[in-house]
Homo-oligomer: A and B are copies of this chain.
Amino acid sequence: MFQTAAKTLSVASSVSRAISVRHYCKKTTRKLRISEALLGSELGANVKVQGWVRSVRPQKTNLFFHVNDGSCLQSLQIVAGSDLDELLTFGSAVEVTGILKKSPHQKQPVELEAEQIHIIGECNPVDFPFKIKERHSLEYIRQFPHLRCRTNAFSSLLRIRSEATTAIHSYFKKNGFVQIHTPIITSNDCEGAGELFQVEPSGPDYDENENFFSVPAFLSVSGQLHLEVMSGAFSGVYTFGPTFRAENSQSRRHLAEFYMVEAEVSFTQSIEDLTKVMEDMFRSSTEHVLAHCAEDVNLFHKHVTPGHRVSLKDNNLTWAVDILNRSSQEFAFPTDWGCDLQTEHEKYLVKHCGNIPVFVTDYPYDLKPFYARDNQDSPEHTAAAVDLLVPGVGELCGGSLREERLDLLRARAGLEDTYSWYLDLRRFGSVPHGGFGLGFERYLQCILGVDNIKDVIPFPRFSHSCLL
């Protein structure tokens, strides 16, 4: 039934070509990542690197090429004899063994004097959609979702995204939050809005008259209600994962599948308790990303989105007042009390405050979902809700205190039938609590200055597009 011998796979596959540069190979060859090699601490050592060719520059006596393995933005310069094969092209995969030396050039601290070069995987430069020495736009590379990670810009983006994820987890861990994997498939609709995806098995065996889960099931639009469950046992919980909206939108700010960071804080005293967490998280994550991905972030600020800078100093988070009504600007949407904020209003508020992040609090009660806490103020009648607006992006976070008082929740119609479990949370050891959600892609857009949300997620999904 089984065979025990594990076959050894030769790195040189059927398409590979081994080219001996010098007929010599030390026994103590260490495999290094490019980022390790570039540190310069292994000068004189015999090392092996593996990666993809990013440039080829033939000169009289030598051939120079650069190899990148995704461990950092910078590539390692390889110095080889000039008699190299034409298969050593932009995009091809190679393995190079040689001696790490101090580079005579200023651009890089270290270079690798090649002793042996294997071409592991060829890359036909005519067919490959990315061309050597060309700076392709984000829009151009977006056409190739299976290949765009091979460009400098998108590989930088992916490293930043990974590091920002680490930063957010670190922030919550450091502050005693427990991570909760809130479900993707859910039988409730957190927002009360319509834009839901429904989920049922596909295929001929499935009986269409019967729900797989016995009830209609949807993709989650928010993990909030599930986090609120946990707010009855933990003083702080968070979730970080995909959420879904079936919006028929092709805008540069919307996706059908996007990532949200959501947190819920028990024993909250006020909306300021929440904004403090929002601000701390924003600040701490951004500092982490800038510190750990300086080179990658710089690429965006320099080449991709010139002129954009994250100015942490300017983040004097401002409590917005009724600026719009005092404005002389004309808006397409009404600015009357009781109307919701539109993108044009958000933009104006951010601009008015000097293009810095702005908190807006205390929205009309009737505009907010059932769980938002009633401020019981008259005549305005507001809910203790807050949005964080940021330059270029608009709404980055939305949050609220949640109605923890059973009698007030009960007064809202329909809850007894569909949300009796939610009322139970208030029946047994209810505590004042509140939370917020942050759109992770919008956060990346904000700190990198990337205009289109499709350029900050590995595989964007939106109406009429689900590539790969």
Q: What residues of chain B lie closer than 8 Å to A66, measured between beta carbons?
A: none
Rounded to whole Å, the gap between the CB of A407 and the closest CB of chain B is 7
User: How distant is the Cα of A185 from the Cα of B466 in the complex, in angstroms?
Assistant: 8
- Chain B's closest residue to A461 (CB) is B185
Asked whether, in the complex, the Cβ of A7 is within 8 Å of the Cβ of B271, the reply is yes
Is A344 among interface residues, defined by CB-CB distance under 8 A?
A: no
In the complex, the answer to whether B185 meets A194 with C-beta atoms within 8 Å is no
| Residue contact A147 to B459, C-beta cutoff 8 Å | no
Is A235 a contact partner of B50 (Cβ separation < 8 A)?
yes
Name the residue of chain B whose CB is nearest to the CB of A151.
Answer: B233
* In the complex, chain A residues 233-261 whose Cβ is within 8 Å of any chain B Cβ: 233-235, 241-242, 244, 246, 248, 256-257, 259
Q: Which residues of B contact A339 (CB under 8 A)?
A: 1
With beta carbons under 8 angstroms apart, the residue of B180, B197, B200, B459 that contacts A201 is B197
- Chain B residue at smallest Cβ distance from A68: B233
CB distance from A165 to the nearest CB of B (A): 6
CB-based contact B232/A52 at 8 Å: yes
A71 close to chain B: CB less than 8 A: yes
**Chain B CB within 8 A of A366 CB:** no
Q: Which one of A222-230, A283-291, A307-315, A445-453 is at the B interface?
A: A222-230
* Most B CB within 10 A of own CB, among A248, A269, A341, A466: A466
- From DSSP, what is the main secondary structure of chain A's interface residues? loop
Flag whether A39 is at the interface (Cβ < 8 A). no
Q: Distance in Å from the Cβ of A69 to the closest Cβ of chain B?
A: 5
A171 is an interface residue with CB less than 8 A from chain B: no
CB distance A336 to B1 under 8 Å?
Answer: yes
Identify 27 residue pairs between A and B in the complex whose beta-carbon atoms are under 8 Å apart, listed by A's number.
A6-B319, A7-B375, A9-B373, A15-B406, A15-B430, A69-B234, A69-B266, A71-B234, A93-B431, A120-B432, A123-B427, A123-B428, A145-B421, A146-B229, A146-B422, A149-B230, A158-B230, A159-B178, A162-B178, A162-B180, A165-B181, A181-B458, A187-B466, A197-B202, A198-B201, A203-B246, A225-B468
Tell me, yes or no, whether A412 is within 8 Å of chain B by CB: no
Q: Are A322 and B91 in contact (CB under 8 A)?
A: no
Q: How far is the CA of A162 from the CA of B3 in the complex (A)?
A: 38
Stretch from A55-63, A99-107, A298-306, A356-364 that touches the partner = A356-364
* Cβ contacts under 8 Å, A186 to chain B: 459, 466, 468
Known: A33-B176, A432-B120. A233 touches B461 (CB 8 A): no
Which residues of B sit under 8 angstroms from A5, Cβ to Cβ?
Answer: 362
A169 within 8 A of partner (CB): yes
> A384's closest neighbor in chain B, by CB?
B7
Contact A363 B2 (CB under 8 A): yes
Residues of B within 8 A of A214 (CB): 464-466
Q: Indicate whether A92 reaches chain B with its CB closer than 8 angstroms.
A: yes
Give every chain B residue within 8 A of A336 (Cβ-Cβ).
Answer: 1
Chain B positions within 8 Å of A229 at CB level: 145-147, 149, 468
